[in-house]
Structure 1
């Protein structure tokens, strides 16, 4: 999706949700999904953000490749902790698999992990600006 703002700036928003890594086939499918996303990002000219339930942590090799190959960064780089978003029933005990990756033209203004909202995930609430 391309967002166009009143000031003429644009932002490409890619939302994703690969299958969970339950077993060898699903794990391979998730990793292939992330590799295909990488191919889609090649040649992206607009500022972009990639958000969603990655079903993988920030330190998973396919996610690391996305960061490195496309000069993306984790939207919360100055956080001293990675906020756990799943499972929502175990706040503080879960893992951060709901991620927001941004290019370097995006600056985070504020963030928090939202309350439980009837999902097994807790939402990331982010406020950022285009430089």
Structure 2
């Protein structure tokens, strides 16, 4: 019986080792297919599972070399993408003359936990708020908060793609559909010491199916191809429906935009209630001439996404 259990465990670890290797590499080898792109979101989970399997191999397997090699390959490949978020050394300290704190919240259109949302906003006390899945009902529920932010641009919708931006500082904002579909983004501009700052609040469609996958990718490509339309200092914030491990997200950071999480950790945001599956779909990207002073993830506010907060300096 003991020998049979060992054989079953042996086979299971081999299957897991091969599966983890395939799940790690296939999204990068075939990035243009929507289904494989989904698996790119979970590199942290693959890393943890590979380490767990490697420990079992080292302690229980008689022949360890091939299985260990496959697992070390998985660990190294996934760690390559994860480690910059914990060991970023590129950020240089600069003299900060102006600061701006902003939060991004995917409200979830069906969520009714207005007290939790308002408590989070009150605790963070940001200068600027981006709201996604902003419905007419949420507009009513957050009337108190909206009134406290005198400069705002609201695009409530009855689907999951309403969006809003609230600011304590004067902004000029407009709705832009990026020539793609009828899903609104908001392009706004603030001024610090007579220098413009563009903030783009955006929410691409989730890539569930080939057509939606193509729309999301075109959304990302639009921001890259039209970078020159926006000011030198740029912030892009929202639910990208895209993790930082996806090829299409990485194309954004090949421009002058950088991930605000670098040096602060992965800070996963979705799904809010299933911690072991969490990945980061909610992002704030900033241009290289902006310094990230702080970056955090908030507590559960009743949504399927956790809210995010960033403080930036110029």
Q: TM-score, normalised by structure 1?
A: 0.88
Larger radius of gyration: 2
Aligned to 1:21: 207
Q: Does the 8 A contact of 1:86 with 1:122 survive in 2?
A: yes
- Secondary structure, counterpart of 1:28 in structure 2: helix
1:40, distance to aligned residue in structure 2 (A): 2.2
Q: TM-score, normalised by structure 2?
A: 0.39
Aligned to 1:75: 260
Residue 92 and residue 9 in structure 1: after superposition, are their counterparts in 2 closer, same or farther (change >3 A)?
farther
How far, CA to CA, are the matches of 1:12 and 1:58 in structure 2? 22
Aligned to 1:95: 279
1:118, distance to aligned residue in structure 2 (A): 2.4
1:84, distance to aligned residue in structure 2 (A): 0.8
Residue 290 of structure 2, aligned match among 106, 110, 114: 106
Unaligned ranges ≥5, structure 1: none
Residue 23 and residue 111 in structure 1: after superposition, are their counterparts in 2 closer, same or farther (change >3 A)?
same
Q: Does the 8 A contact of 1:113 with 1:124 survive in 2?
A: yes
How far, CA to CA, are the matches of 2:231 and 2:198 in structure 1? 9
2:194 matches 1:8: yes
Higher helix share: 2
1:36-55 alignment, distance < 5 Å: 36-55=222-241
1:92, distance to aligned residue in structure 2 (A): 5.4
How far, CA to CA, are the matches of 1:117 and 1:63 in structure 2? 26
Q: Which moved more, 1:111-120 or 1:41-50?
A: 41-50
